[in-house]
């Protein structure tokens, strides 16, 4: 199964459309969104083409292929316009038995890992994409598809079998690691 993982759309219609196009071009089976879907948050500028209801319409149209974690900017109201559930945390086991955790990043991240064993943890929240190992765990910040920070590009991650690939939103590879 090929997983496409993205985060921090923050209501940007332009980048939601671009993300869905990349998801389809990559031939992924599931789109995992790590939160902050509609609202930009009080500390962020309003993103380009800020149209959260249109973003909701696009995501609702593909709800059978979505897995979503709740971000710190996602509210109870956001759930009322979404035809999919928001989980606090998701775990996935690869065909080879590796455990991957998914969370927005406000709760679990490289400095605060989840309790229990994971082989990899993917998250967003900080809007800066990277792949790093610490204490035998692969930590992956998928970055942000709409509002990258720290000079990093808009990015997402592909997971195929036990290979994790960080890519720009244009599809160029930034880095890869085996879990």
Domain boundary assignment for the chain: 2-178
- Residue 151 or residue 42, greater confidence: 151
Rounded to the nearest angstrom, the gap between the alpha carbon of residue 12 and the centroid of all alpha carbons in its chain is 14
With 80 as the cut, is the pLDDT of residue 44 above it?
A: no
DSSP SS3 for 69:
strand
DSSP conformation class of 61: T
The model's pTM is 0.96
| CATH value of 2-178 in 3.60.21.10, 3.90.1150.10, 3.30.950.10, 3.30.565.10 | 3.60.21.10
């Amino acid at each position: 199964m090929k997983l496409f993982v993205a985060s921090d759309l923050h209501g940007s219609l332009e980048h939601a459309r671009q993300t869905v196009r990349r998801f389809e071009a990559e031939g992924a089976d599931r789109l995992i969104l790590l939160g902050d879907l509609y609202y930009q948050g009080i500390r962020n500028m309003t993103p380009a083409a800020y149209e959260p209801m249109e973003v909701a319409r696009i995501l609702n149209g593909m709800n059978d292929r979505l897995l979503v974690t709740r971000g710190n900017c996602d509210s109870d109201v956001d759930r009322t316009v979404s035809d999919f559930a928001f989980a606090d945390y998701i775990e996935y086991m690869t065909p080879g038995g590796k455990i991957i955790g998914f969370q927005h990043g406000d709760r679990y991240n490289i400095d605060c890992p989840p309790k229990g064993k994971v082989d990899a943890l993917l998250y967003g929240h900080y809007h800066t994409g990277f792949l790093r190992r610490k204490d035998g765990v692969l930590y992956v910040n998928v970055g942000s598809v709409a509002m990258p920070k720290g000079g990093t590009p808009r990015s997402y991650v592909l997971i195929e079998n036990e290979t994790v690939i960080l890519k720009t939103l244009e599809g160029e590879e930034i880095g890869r690691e085996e879990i």
